[in-house]
Amino acid sequence: MSRNRLAALVAVLCFSHAYGALPDEIQVYTDDVNAPGERGIELHVNTTPSGRSRPDYAGEVTPYHGLRITPELSWGLVPDVDWGLYLPFVRSGEGTDYFAGPRFRLKWMPLRLFLTPGATKHRRVRRRAVAIFQAAAAGRTTGKTGILIYLSLAERRAEIVADEAIHKLTDDHTWGEAMHALIEQVREGRAADGIVAAIERVGAVLAEHFPRSADDRNEIPDRLIIL
């Protein structure tokens, strides 16, 4: 089948669907954004094994045994901004197909972060830091003395995660000076200086509890990981 015929067939299939009042689905947005000029496509599939079967008003398509398939096309516009196009299709419990019409969305990360509560940002950054530490550093030194300084430039928050031996001898207050030095520099636009300052203060704490021995060797690479 030629491309033109295939396109015509797809168009006929799309516009031959019945129309009705469709319930909106809940969209869950992640914090990933296409780079400028980058294109993306996702497929959202939702079904309702059970649920309300009696319509609340004439023409409503109830969710009972329904299936919703929604392709999402996206395109990066500028840094931190992309737009998307939804094409929602629904099959009712009776087997009738509906097209809900195109829907557009605009994702702008600074606005999303501005509206996110501080406590949510803190939990999210902490969760990411712990996950990365467990994957990259936890238990990888003989004395279990690995440590991670995690900085999220988007949320302007940081976390210090320490391995078991360090954790037993310290608490959150121990890293207060390092965290303050880091965030203070980040707020002034000097993230690199902040990381250096935090490393210096963390090093002072470690030297106090775990002084360097003659046979000490570096078991974990000292490098910056940019995600």
What's the rounded Cα separation, in Å, for the pair 184 and 188? 7
User: How confident is the model at residue 65, as a pLDDT?
Assistant: 85
- Fold observed for domain 116-209: Diaminopimelate Epimerase; Chain A, domain 1 (3.10.310)
Q: Hey, where are the domains in the chain? A: 3-108, 116-209
User: How confident is the model at residue 71, as a pLDDT?
Assistant: 92
Averaged over successive runs of 10 residues, the pLDDT of the chain (227 residues) comes to 40 42 55 84 85 79 85 90 90 86 84 76 86 80 82 84 85 84 87 89 86 76 71
User: How confident is the model at residue 85, as a pLDDT?
Assistant: 93
What would the pLDDT profile of 53-103 be if each residue is shown by its tens digit?
Answer: 888 877 778 888 888 899 999 999 988 889 999 998 988 888 888 888 898
